[in-house]
Amino acid sequence: MKTLIKNGRIVTAADEYVADLLIDGEKIVLIGAHLDESGADQVIDAAGLYVLPGGVDVHTHLAMPWRGVETCDDFFTGHRAAAFGGTTTHVDFSIQAKGGTLHEAVETWHAKANGKAVIDYSFHVAITDLTDSVMAEIAELPKIGVTSIKMFMAYKDSLQVDDMTLFKSMQVAAKSGVLSLVHAENGDAIEVLIAEAITAGNHAPIYHALTRPPELETEATSRAIWLAQVAGDAPLFVVHCTCEGALAAVSAARLRGQHVYAETCTQYLFFTKDALNGTADDPFDGAKYICSPPLRETSDSAALWRALRTGDITSLSTDHCPFTYAEQKALGRDSFAKVPNGAPGIEDRLYMLWNDGVLSGRLTPSRFVELVATNPAKMFGMYPRKGTLAIGSDADIVLWDGAAEHVVSAATHHSAIDYNLFEGRTVQGKPVKVFVRGQLVVDGDNLMAEKGSGAFIHRASPLLL
Ligand code: URP
Ligand code: ZN
Ligand code: ZN
């Protein structure tokens, strides 16, 4: 099947120009001016539209167990939402069970995706229980296409690892072509602050933010950076960086030449911790915004926006971790400490960044593409198969109407979650058609993909930027 996309404005991290693009089967085979229509099975006129590489979201939690509940999007509803937002590949976190192996974790996540996927996907593996045999497994992960591990420095008594685990994991990762990821917050100090808040009778959602101050993210980020340096300059990717202090630690490391990278997530650009106060009608509404690290101050958001432009933030992810408000967040009605941590956003990332980043003049379209597709594909070993529009790349393509206005709402989004953080906002920018490996998966308001059409992506080692 050959599809010719004509007259679109092609945007890559490097260039922006009007041209035609030919898809043959799953791949892009030709890009040029005035390509011959005669051999094509279908011709799509993309005049007036941008032609973007499909978005790559390297931080999601689909069907993830969390203290007795599970995130409400599985690999079908989560993928459906991603596709409608223009994301065609994601990397989800498979999590080692205590006493289990890393291979079992990856197999468990494969089973979650099998038969459901409609976009392409891959897995990181989160280390929770480091033994000698698990150390040996880290070195073997690239053979199964997994080239990133994650260590949680927070979530005491569940996911959190100690510094010895963190350090040893980084050491073996550095020697194995595996990227180390950290959730950087000081989980021990947070645990003390949570206990103090509860003893004092402070149960409202805002205490989630007050018990996880930015200094504890800054401290953990700095600690992880220095440990990575000593662990053989282990390449380090700091997930969901939220505050000025952590960002300064990342910038300083990068200035020293250390292989340190950071992502931020959409919600940290748009909201502050004030959202955790809820509404006048419903103070518990703040629970919708409980994610970790928490939302910060306006000055932190401003610093993140600057870093998106200057390069100290490498990419934008979502940390899509959806728990329903009516049932799952409600488990913490009597205490913020029982509210499942996480916020949704897999569908919203591209248009929110386009609207407030590109249309506001903060970012060029090329930088936008770099942040949402190219850099994550490079960092996570999928480039140039994913993350760009080039001959030989997968035909993961978004025909993007940069001016289309729409109102964001849970009533119309495609995730299983019952709320949307951006509810009621009018934004511009929307996919018109989305292709995954040459297959049309979204056409306007219609999902065209069949369940199970998404494929696992066997990743290479990171391309260090
Ligand atoms: O609150 C969050 N972010 N939940 C998901 C787990 C994590 O920390 O990434
Ligand atoms: Zn995290
Ligand atoms: Zn996460």
pLDDT tens across 202-230, in order? 999 999 999 999 999 999 999 999 999 99
Could you give phi then psi for residue 369, rounded to 5 degrees?
A: -60, -40
pLDDT at residue 59, rounded to an integer: 99
pLDDT at 95: 98
Q: Which of 93, 266, 295, 319 to mutate to test the pocket of ligand 1 (most atoms within 8 A of CB)?
A: 319
pLDDT band at 308 (very low <50, low <70, confident <90, very high): very high
Closest ligand 1 atom to residue 61 Cα is: 5
- Pocket probe mutation, ligand 1, options 57, 59, 60, 61, max atoms within 8 Å of Cβ: 61
pLDDT at site 342 = 98
**Structure confidence at residue 401 (pLDDT):** 99
What is the homologous superfamily of the domain 2-52+394-412+426-447 according to CATH?
Urease, subunit C, domain 1 (2.30.40.10)
- Read off the pLDDT band of 337 (50, 70, 90): very high
Say what the pLDDT of residue 279 is. Answer: 96
Q: Which residue, by CA, sits nearest to atom 8 of ligand 1?
A: 292
Ligand 1 atom at minimal distance to the Cα of residue 183: 8
In the block, which residue shows the tokens 């599985």? 74
pLDDT in tens, 133-191: 999 999 999 999 999 999 999 999 999 999 999 999 999 999 999 999 999 999 999 99
Q: Which-ligand-closest: CA of 183?
A: 2
Structural contact between residues 384 and 67, judged by C-beta atoms closer than 8 angstroms: no
Ligand 1 surroundings by CB, under 6 angstroms: 61, 183, 291-292, 319, 321, 341-342
> Hey, whose CA ends up nearest to atom 4 of ligand 1?
342
How far apart are the CA of 142 and the centre of ligand 2, in A? 23
Give the span between the Cα atoms of 453 and 400, in whole angstroms.
22
Residue 388: which pLDDT band, with cuts at 50, 70 and 90? very high
CA–centroid distance, residue 321 to ligand 3 (Å): 7
60 alpha carbon – ligand 3 mean position (Å): 6
Ligand 1, atom 9, residue with closest C-alpha? 319
In sequence order, the 6+-apart residues with CB closer than 8 A to the CB of 66 are 321, 323, 340, 341, 342
- Region(s) of the chain under CATH 2.30.40.10: 2-52+394-412+426-447
Ligand nearest to the CA of 321: 1
Distance 292 CA to ligand 3 centre (A): 8
Ligand 3 centroid to Cα of residue 36, in Å, is: 46
Q: Residue 271 is encoded by which pair of tokens?
A: 């909201």
**Residue 59 Cα: closest atom of ligand 1:** 9
Task: Give residue-wise pLDDT tens across range 343-365.
Answer: 999 999 999 999 999 999 999 99
Distance 66 CA to ligand 3 centre (A): 12
For residue 342, the ligand 1 atom closest to its alpha carbon is 1
Percent residues over pLDDT 70 in the chain: 100
Mean pLDDT, rounded, of the chain: 98
In this structure, are residues 449 and 118 in contact, taking their beta carbons and an 8 Å threshold? Answer: yes
175 in Cβ contact with 139 (< 8 Å) = yes
pTM of the model: 0.99
For the CA of 292, the nearest atom of ligand 1: 1
Around 328, how many Cα atoms within 13 Å sit in the side-chain half-sphere? 24
> Which pLDDT value is given to residue 114?
98
> Helix or strand or coil: residue 122?
strand
180 Cα to the center of ligand 3, angstroms: 14
pLDDT at 232: 98
**C-alpha 8 to ligand 2 mean position (Å):** 38
Peptide bond into 293 cis (omega under 30): yes
Q: In the structure, what pLDDT confidence band is assigned to residue 7 with cuts at 50, 70 and 90?
A: very high
Q: Distance from the CA of 341 to the center of ligand 2, in angstroms?
A: 9
Which residue blocks in 5-156 are alpha helix, DSSP H? Answer: 77-84, 102-113, 132-140
Q: Which of 138, 193, 204 is nearest to 169 (CA)?
A: 138
The closest alpha carbon to 138, from 100, 177, 111, belongs to 177
Burial class (CB in 10 A: 0-12, 13-18, 19+), 264: buried
pLDDT in tens, 20-37: 999 999 999 999 999 999
For ligand 1, atom 6, the nearest C-alpha belongs to: 342
Cis peptide before 384 (omega within 30 of 0): yes
Domain 55-379 has CATH 3.20.20.140: yes
What is the reported pLDDT for 22?
98
- What are the residue ranges of CATH 3.20.20.140 in the chain? 55-379
Q: How far apart are the first and last CA of the chain?
A: 35
Q: Which atom of ligand 1 is nearest to the CA of 154?
A: 8
With beta carbons less than 8 A apart as the criterion, state whether 396 and 54 touch. Answer: yes
Looking from the CA of residue 155, the nearest atom of ligand 1 is 8
- With both helix axes pointing from N to C terminus, report the angle between 163-176 and 214-230 in degrees, rounded to the nearest 10: 50
From the CA of 434, how far away is ligand 2's center (Å)? 29
pLDDT the model gives residue 186: 99
In the chain, the percentage of residues whose pLDDT exceeds 90 is 100
pLDDT at 456: 99
Ligand lying closest to the C-alpha of residue 65? 1
The residue whose CB lies within 8 Å of the most ligand 1 atoms, and thus the one to mutate among 153, 216, 237, 291, is 291
Distance 293 CA to ligand 2 centre (A): 7
pLDDT category of residue 128 using cuts at 50, 70 and 90: very high
Q: Whose CA is nearest to atom 7 of ligand 1?
A: 292
pLDDT (0 to 100) of residue 330: 98
